[in-house]
Amino acid sequence: MPRARAKIKRLVVRAGARPRRAVVWAQLRRRAAAQGFGSSDLERFYHYLSHHLKLEKPDYVDPLQQPPNYFPDLRSQPIYSPSEFVWTREIFDNFNVIKNELLEFSAKSNLEAQPQGLTDRGRWNVLYFYAGGRRVDATTTACPHTAEIIDLMPGAGRAGQAYLSVLRGDTHITRHFGPTNARLRCHVGLVVPDGARIRIGAETYRWEEGECLLFDDSFDHEVWNEASSERVVLIVDFWHPDLTPAETWAITEARGLRFGLRDILHA
């Protein structure tokens, strides 16, 4: 049986993207029916899958928003108000607990270099709560209050990453697009020196300690820390609010399917 599966996999890979889409779509529809979802509930997801496999060209609506994996017909705006999301109140109310917990743990931990290689000077280090869709037990155990609040965000750990982000002084993260517009990103300012800023789309913003900066990182963006001290931010990805339950289920489910979406969100 394993030998037969391997042969089928080789045949599908050689045949190209269209057979791969057909296999994923057939598997997904079968599983969706058990969840009470029909094909019509997954129409936008079908186009998302087709964009991922380069079988359709994304219909971008803004030249500053061009993620490689584009989910159609979602709101295209770079910045969102915290008032749209009820869970931001928990962050505001528990900010001092979150800040103290994270700074205390990070001070005695070995932070790793952010793996994407997006800096052209300086140093960008991270401490993961969720990495590649997997919960990092060492961090979540050491920072239980922060982990509990992260898990209030819809899709935390499934929509993307969750991590502490530390930019050393004189660091620049080069301009780039996030991997998909199916998620939004929350930045919670913990330590924000003068000289730290982020450009999202056409506008530049500063973090505020204790405040949430909510944005769509599929827009072109870049970051500077021109201070001599560190900028420290908690980053959590969560589902775009225009996605339906069927669509968030499909995105998560497809990553586990043979020939599926793999880990496109986890960057």
pTM: 0.91
Residue identified by tokens 């394993």 is 2
Residue 17 is predicted with a pLDDT of: 87
Select from 140, 131, 154, 170 the least CA-distant residue to 239: 154
Residue 141 is predicted with a pLDDT of: 96
Domains in the chain: boundaries:
2-66+244-255, 79-239
Domain at 79-239: CATH architecture:
Sandwich (2.60)
Residues 7-26 as b or e (16 or more Cβ within 10 Å = b):
eeeeebeeeebeebbebbbe
Average pLDDT estimate for 173-191: 97
Instruction: Give the tens place of pLDDT for each residue, 66-124.
Output: 999 999 999 999 999 999 999 999 999 999 999 999 999 999 998 999 988 999 999 99
How far apart CA 231 and CA 195 sit, in angstroms, is 9
- Provide the β-strand partners of residue 172: 121, 224
Residue 256 is predicted with a pLDDT of: 83
* Tally of CA atoms within 13 A in the half-sphere of 197 that contains its CB: 8
How far apart CA 181 and CA 202 sit, in angstroms, is 17
